[in-house]
Structure 1
Amino acid sequence: MKLVSKTLSAAGLALALAVIAAPASAQQKQAAPAAPQSTPLKPGTPAAMAAAREILQMKNASAMYAGAVPGLVQKTKEALLQSNLNYQKDLNEVAVIVAQKLAGREKEIGEGMASVYANEFTEQELKDLVTFYKSPLGKKLLLTEPRAIQFSMSYMNAWAQNFAEVINGEFRAEMRKRGKEI
């Protein structure tokens, strides 16, 4: 029963995310077709890139990818260990060397994110966003948005769990009508 409840909770959450994302997705499709992921980003102007970097710095975006290099080194090591158990000691030692050698490469993510911003917003829009984020309301948004997102996700998870129980009840009721208890 717990497994069914957890599965339905996950399904409910997926449904909730799909429902929430669908209108946004539809709006994006109407606004402009999505560029294929293989399409390289246009280089932003130096001023646009500077503004984008400043926005990302104000949003503390680097916290999202700070552990990217060590995390990917660890995942790669674990994958290699699965088929090379006899090399565990060596792979552990090599992981340290590789992590040290590639330390700092996560900054490439920040530059990529700045390029994305520079492609999605005009130079003036980026400058306006910097001005906004420096305003009292912008500072409040930067300060409270992570918490608001966390609370929103908690609410959505609780809603999905409750709604999954409603769905479960509906399945059971419909199956009872067919003379089948589940």
Structure 2
Amino acid sequence: MRCLSKFLPAACLAVALAFPALAQAQQASQPTAAAVASAKELLTLKHAGAIYANAIPGMVERTKTTLLQANLNYQKDLNEVALIVAKSLAGREKEIGDGMAKIYASHFTEQELKDLVTFYKSALGQKLITEEPKAIEASMKYMNEWAQQFADVVNGEFRAEMRKRGKEI
């Protein structure tokens, strides 16, 4: 207990001295309004809104479906209420875009975001926006085909090693 009483004041002092530094570090990591604006522009150029465009209708539909499972007698009412709820919450998906912009602005400097906006407005940036989804889809298809073929190789290796042990599988 004596040891703790000697240590406690020193620990309190260390924490008290660290608090201003922690507050400054947290404040420094807060993105500027200009950085957030550049991030929003970047996300608009990259058509990021397509990712969450149907967030509200999708959530309303999922909730309605869940409620219907427990309340089959209320199907008509729940269908009508779903329309009301979707209408009253329309536009809230903007919150996702705002949050994404803040995240981007916390990972990139304001100047980096401006440079990215400039790039995505360029001919090459526009081509990247158009062609990258196609390249990613083709890459995923290739990886799946490769994995299927490689699985056969791995299976063959297992079987060969097991045969060496006198065990057929």
Given residue 93 of structure 1, which amino acid in structure 2 is its aligned partner?
E
Report Cα offsets for 1:137-165 as digits up to 9, x if no partner. 22221221111111111112222222233
Given residue 67 of structure 1, which amino acid in structure 2 is its aligned partner?
N
- The answer to whether 1:133 aligns with 2:120 is yes
- 2:61 aligns with one of 50, 71, 74: 74
TM-align CA RMSD? 2.1
**Which residue of structure 1 aligns with residue 48 of structure 2?**
61
- Unmatched segments (≥5 aa) in structure 2: 1-25
Report the more deviating stretch, 150-159 or 106-115: 150-159
Give the match's secondary structure for 2:144. helix
**Which residue of structure 2 aligns with residue 179 of structure 1?**
167
Misfit runs of 4+, over 6 Å = none
Percent identity over the alignment is: 66
Given residue 146 of structure 1, which amino acid in structure 2 is its aligned partner?
P
Cα–Cα, structure 1 residues 78 and 125, in superposed 2: closer, same or farther, change >3 Å?
same
**Which residue of structure 2 aligns with residue 96 of structure 1?**
83
**Which residue of structure 1 aligns with residue 39 of structure 2?**
52
Cα distance, 1:87 vs structure 2: 2.1
Report the more deviating stretch, 62-71 or 158-167: 158-167
Structure number with bigger Rg: 2
Written as runs of structure 1 = structure 2, the 5 A alignment for 1:140-179 is 140-173=127-160, 177=165, 179=167
- The answer to whether 1:111 aligns with 2:98 is yes
TM-score (norm 2): 0.73
Distance in 2 (alpha carbons) for counterparts of 1:104 and 1:51? 21
Q: Which has the bigger relative contact order, CA under 8 A and spacing at least 6?
A: 1
Cα distance, 1:82 vs structure 2: 2.0
Distance in 2 (alpha carbons) for counterparts of 1:169 and 1:94? 58
Distance in 2 (alpha carbons) for counterparts of 1:67 and 1:91? 19
**Which residue of structure 2 aligns with residue 85 of structure 1?**
72
Structure with greater helix percent: 2
Distance in 2 (alpha carbons) for counterparts of 1:175 and 1:90? 63
Given residue 46 of structure 1, which amino acid in structure 2 is its aligned partner?
A
Cα distance, 1:174 vs structure 2: 5.0
Given residue 97 of structure 1, which amino acid in structure 2 is its aligned partner?
I
Give the match's secondary structure for 1:133. helix
